[in-house]
Amino acid sequence: MAKTKSRKQIEREARDETQARMAYIGTLASGLAHEIRTPLSSIVVNAELLAEDAGSLPEEQREEVLKRTERIRTEASNLRDTLDEFLAFARPPKMQFVSTNLSDWLEGIIEFMEPECAKLDISIVRRFLDELYPVRIDQGQFGQVVMNLLSNARDSVGEHGTITITTEEDDRWVRLRVADDGGGVDPEVERKIFDVFFTTKKHGSGLGLGIARRIVREHGGGLWLENLPGRGAEFVVRLPKGKFLEYRDDDGDDSGVGGGGGEEKR
């Protein structure tokens, strides 16, 4: 009689299958990126040469040519950024975890964002817990998560508003909250906000939040949205206290990708 598989065995097999598929997608993505980057570079170079040659044209024609070549370069840059995001999603680099005080580490990212926010009259308010328990993060990849959340909050506010960044903890988790007073997310958008390739931005790839959630899950945590339509939105990141990403076969909680229900609101 065949032995019945346990829940953990089923979850592990599902995880392994997902990882195998992602590895295959990553290989395809790398090949596709190579095929796209070469002609894309040629397009940019030729646009720059056309801009240089425009100097010999009559003023009216020169302005039109420069306008069109600049559009070509802008769209090529947007395409290159989309390609980079797709590669990051399909073939993420290996995590390098470092024990980190999240409140102290966040200061560097906030200082980078503050000048741009100040131009839009957006204030960044810090509500950091003193003596925060350290978490183990890949500082480069987790930095992408925070930058994405801050950029989304800035875009949501637009002008003349506030972004509030909070750190807190309980007996098991450290939480990071990024809230804005930009009016909240439309309920229809909220249902799709983490879907791959879904975006409301004109030049968005729809990968930013998908990548952010994947990175957080690979840290053994969760990422979700707490939405207040008409008032604001708050993204919440939950990270385990000082634990590396790993699976356990005992009766304890799984702390790996797909384990333990990373997005429940607690």
pLDDT digit string, tens, across residues 180-236: 998 888 888 888 888 776 676 666 556 778 888 888 998 999 999 998 888 899 999
Average pLDDT of the residues in 88-107: 82
pLDDT at 252 over 50: no
Burial (Cβ within 10 Å: 0-12, 13-18, ≥19) of residue 91:
middle
Cα–Cα dist 225/140, whole Å: 23
Question: According to the model, what pLDDT value does residue 254 have?
Answer: 38
| Phi and psi angles of residue 135, each rounded to the nearest 5 degrees, phi first | -120, 155
Give 29's pLDDT tier (boundaries 50, 70, 90). low
Please provide residue 162's backbone torsions phi and psi, each rounded to the nearest 5 degrees.
-135, 135
What is residue 38's predicted lDDT score, i.e. its pLDDT?
74
Q: What pLDDT score was predicted for residue 262?
A: 42
Whether the per-residue pLDDT at 142 is higher than 60: the answer is yes
Give the whole-angstrom CA distance, residue 177 versus residue 109.
14
pLDDT at position 50, please? Answer: 87
Residue 255 — very low, low, confident or very high, per pLDDT cuts 50/70/90?
Answer: very low
Report pTM. Answer: 0.62
Residues 6+ apart with CB under 8 A from 3: none
Cα–Cα distance, 182 to 104 (Å, whole number): 26
Integer-rounded Cα Rg, in Å, for the chain is 22
- The per-residue pLDDT of the chain, averaged, comes to 79
Residue 28: which pLDDT band, with cuts at 50, 70 and 90? low
Which conformational region is residue 220 in: left (phi greater than 0), alpha (psi within -120 to 50 degrees), or beta? left
Domain ranges of the chain: 7-90, 98-240
**Rounded distance, CA 204 to CA 36, Å?**
19
> Which of 198, 197, 181 lies closest to 189, judged by CA?
198
- The band of 244, judged by pLDDT with boundaries at 50, 70 and 90, is very low
SS (H, E, C) 198-246: CCCCCCCCCCHHHHHHHHHHHCCCEEEEEEECCCEEEEEEEEECCCCCC
CATH architecture of the region 98-240: 2-Layer Sandwich (3.30)
